[in-house]
Amino acid sequence: MALTSSSSLPLPLPLHQQFTSPKYSKHPSITLSLSEKSSDSITPLSKSPTRTIPGDYGLPIIGPWKDRQDYFYNQGKNEFFKSRIDKYKSTVFRTNMPPGPFISSNSKVIALLDGKSFPILFDVSKVEKKDVFTGTYTPSTSLTGRYRVLSYLDPSEPNHEKLKKLMFRLLTSRSDHIIPEFQKEYTEFAKTLDREMMEDGRVELNALNDQFSFNFLAKSLLGVEPSDTELGMDAPILIGKWVLFQLHPVLTLGLPRVLDDIVLRTFQLPSFLVKKDYQRLYDFFYRNSTDSFNSEAEKLGVSREEASHNLLFAICFNTFGGMKIFFPNMLKWIAKAGVELHSHLSSEIRSQVKSSGGKITMTAMDKMPLLKSVVYEALRIDPPVSSQYGRAKQDLIIESHHATFHVKKGEMLYGYQPFATKDPEIFDRPEEFVADRFVGKEGERLLKHVLWSNGPESESPTLENKQCAGKDFVVFVSRLFVIEFFLRYDTLEVDVGTSPLGAKITITSLKRA
């Protein structure tokens, strides 16, 4: 997500997809470029074996403030990094990362902006992941019940294994509910979509997607209908306010520049302003956590209170946050790719579902190579979590494609994922949405360079690493989203705007099947 993260979406599903190599009918490549700005190829570097890391941090306070202005206002994220790559002739360099003073005591990082250097951020034998979930600052634990939740823990900390195991086992116990609850909730989603299109001729997707996503998660993972509880339909709004109080130092809300910068990045917003909102969410999860979840927490030596705070964070911040951002982003790329892709997708999906007796099954989904590729390509080109951090546990040697660099113990490493996953040395036409990029054996070999889950797509989360524990779950429900859409509709058109988290999507045309 566009959220800064070191262990996004910690909810698993024991559905590790086997990457088969089914015969793929040779559809023509369908491509689309939606770059923020036109980007030239990275300037080739001289092939020196060792190089001093270029860049500097500037004067105290002034340097971080100046970089912050460039990052948010003068240049924007992509140009901020691209201009420095061009300046230093290097994809590895020193810079400051927001928020800087006075929220962050140390904003100095070493940026890793290519697909070769970036993966060191996943190696927990070399980098520490303690309290780097949001980057160079850490929100108050008063926003998480006074607990350091799983996302902020390094695998070396004893509680990490307990809590990650608890999240793994949550979905193991609820895996049979995923498909049926998704289908039920998507049916309601589609009814609302059709009604609003008929009445207004256009649909604002994001709010509709938010409600759908939370309802699905509550029903599938907890077995409860939110509208039947005191929480009602308020969860998406409550979560939005709570997340804002954690991420405001690295967001922009579109306020006038001076006001935006002063309000969001001078001091952390006081947590008491969302205390009642958080309590409502906490009460919902405490009261509705399943008996098996509570029993498992007790066996692991985790109190019900701590387990409930972690459950809330995992579902509301990580999983709901991922669906909130990624589903509209994914639909944006699919819509913009045009009717040709829509025709191929609908044909593949409907054919396989028909062959399985009209049911969506794992076997049927595994025979949809274009569907799988489209989801992976959306995760590559528009990852829901754009930033990863890690602190060097020892003196390190880091390699880019063209140089070697020495990093000292204790230095903070930072990776901006969209540059790593659009590395022109790895991907052909990296700025384009290539729908069938990951089809076939050659395409599957590229999956190791899809990094959205805080690890390669070709690897799996474990108790010992910080890869997203919900990696398979996220990919699975993303495929379900596309399947359900193209079982009902032939094609769509959208308008794309911006929001603090991801794209703002308005569906302007929708053709039913």
468 is an annotated ligand-binding site residue: yes
Name residue, tokens 């202005």.
69
Burial of 374 (0-12, 13-18, 19+ CB in 10 A): buried
As separate numbers, helices (DSSP H) first and strands (DSSP E) second, the chain gives 17, 10
Least Cα distance to 129 among 152, 158, 99, 105 occurs for 152
User: Tokens at residue 408, please?
Assistant: 């000292």
CA-CA distance, 484 to 183, in Å (whole number)? 8
CA-CA distance, 317 to 240, in Å (whole number)? 9
User: Tokens at residue 424, please?
Assistant: 């022109």
Long-range contacts of 211-214 (CB under 8 A, 24+ apart): 211/236, 212/185, 212/186, 212/188, 213/320, 213/323, 213/324, 213/327, 214/239, 214/320
CA-CA distance, 205 to 183, in Å (whole number)? 18
Angle, CA 107 vertex, CA 101 and CA 109 arms, to 5°: 170
Long-range contacts of 404-412 (CB under 8 A, 24+ apart): 404/49, 404/50, 404/51, 405/50, 405/51, 405/52, 405/53, 405/92, 405/110, 406/50, 406/53, 407/53, 407/110, 411/108, 411/110, 412/106, 412/108, 412/109, 412/110, 412/132, 412/136
CA-CA distance, 142 to 150, in Å (whole number)? 15
Q: CB neighbours of 132 closer than 8 A, spacing ≥ 6?
A: 6, 152, 389, 390, 391, 412
User: Tokens at residue 334, please?
Assistant: 């699919």
**DSSP assignment of 77-100, as one string?**
HHHHHHHHHHHHT-SEEEEE-SS-
Q: State the alpha helices, DSSP H only, in 234-301.
A: 235-247, 257-265, 275-288, 291-300
Looking only at the bridges linking them, the beta strands covering 489-498 and 503-512 are antiparallel
CA-CA distance, 204 to 324, in Å (whole number)? 13
* Coil/strand/helix, residue 506: strand
Neighbours of 436 (CB within 10 A): 21
* DSSP structure class, residue 4: B
8 Å CB contact between 364 and 179: no
Binding site members:
468
Annotated binding site for heme: 468
